[in-house]
Amino acid sequence: MFIAKLLNTFDIAIIQEISDVDQQAPFRLLDTLNTISAPNTYDMSLSSRLGNSNTKEQYAYLNRESTSQVQLISAYVYEDTSKLFERPPPDDALKETIHLRKAIDDFIRKHPQYFNNGLITDILEQNVIDATATNKPSLKTNHPILLVGDFNADCSYISLKRQQELRNMHFVDFTWMINNQVKTNVRQSCTYDRILINGDNFINAIVPDSNSTVRYDLLHDLTLQQALAISDHFPVKFDIDW
């Protein structure tokens, strides 16, 4: 119930690391969420169980179209034939259902994961992987792009030097909405989760200072163990001024 109430504060939510073997947890969550949110209910796009090892996980995309005013028009999982990902990312394309003031026609949400060797990769264009200081890829696009999720992008997983390389070479055309000052892990002061956006119209539509985490532990005065019972990561979020 706590998670459903938390999700009900968002029009669109993306959930990762769903590990329920019976695959019933996402549907129970959706039922509870729609009981709370009725009559403005959510639709869910759920991936299959994914992973190259015995550990399989799912991704879920939740959209309350009546209030988000965007419509899911396609959803698929990246076909990782080269086994670059521990868990291939899903790609969801959305389109607005009415004319919106900021004129964001559509945007693509991609959920990148780490390479098995610990490097963030990008599946939009192959040359991002091979970027150098003198050969920076251009990822400017007419279609705003959102990269969001747990990138393991801090602390022991990646050095500050490598982070700067990613910002200044590989993802130079993206705005990093969650910086290292933001704690996204419940146990540690680490910024594992990130939001990257591309496209001037998209960037201009972000409500200032809305890009942050939801510190449900502070909001509800939870102990560490109570907070961990919900998740070991705080949700990252932003608001869009349609």
Q: Say if residue 119's pLDDT is above 70.
A: no
Output the pLDDT for position 147.
85
Question: Which of the four pLDDT bands, split at 50, 70 and 90, describes residue 199?
Answer: confident
Question: Which of the four pLDDT bands, split at 50, 70 and 90, describes residue 67?
Answer: very high
Q: pLDDT of 184-197, one tens digit each?
A: 999 999 999 999 98
Distance from C-alpha of 143 to C-alpha of 236, rounded to nearest angstrom: 22
- Percentage of the chain beyond pLDDT 70 is 76
- Percentage of the chain beyond pLDDT 90 is 41
Q: pLDDT of 204-241, one tens digit each?
A: 889 999 999 999 999 999 999 999 999 999 999 999 88
Distance from C-alpha of 56 to C-alpha of 78, rounded to nearest angstrom: 16
In order of their start, the domains of the chain are 1-101 (3.60.10.10), 113-237 (3.60.10.10)
Size of the chain, expressed as the number of residues it contains:
242
Bridge pairing between strands 43-46 and 236-237: unpaired
Output the pLDDT for position 135.
58
Question: Which of the four pLDDT bands, split at 50, 70 and 90, describes residue 65?
Answer: very high
Average pLDDT over residues 122-130: 44
Average pLDDT across the chain, whole number: 79
Task: Return the minimum-mean-pLDDT range out of 56-60, 126-130, 161-165.
Answer: 126-130
Which has more confidence, 10 or 144? 10
Task: Return the minimum-mean-pLDDT range out of 28-42, 82-96, 141-155.
Answer: 82-96
Question: Which of the four pLDDT bands, split at 50, 70 and 90, describes residue 168?
Answer: confident
Output the pLDDT for position 140.
59
Number of C-beta neighbours around residue 39 at 10 A: 6
Number of C-beta neighbours around residue 115 at 10 A: 14
Output the pLDDT for position 94.
57
Spatial CA neighbour of 8 closest among 40, 33, 43:
33
Q: pLDDT of 9-59, one tens digit each?
A: 999 999 989 999 999 999 999 999 999 999 999 999 998 888 888 888 899
What amino acid occupies position 61? Y
What is the DSSP code string of 186-242?
SSSS---EEEEEE-HHHHHHBPTT--EE--HHHHTT--HHHHHTT-SBPPEE--B--
Q: Is the pTM of this model over 0.85?
A: no
Which has more confidence, 126 or 101? 126
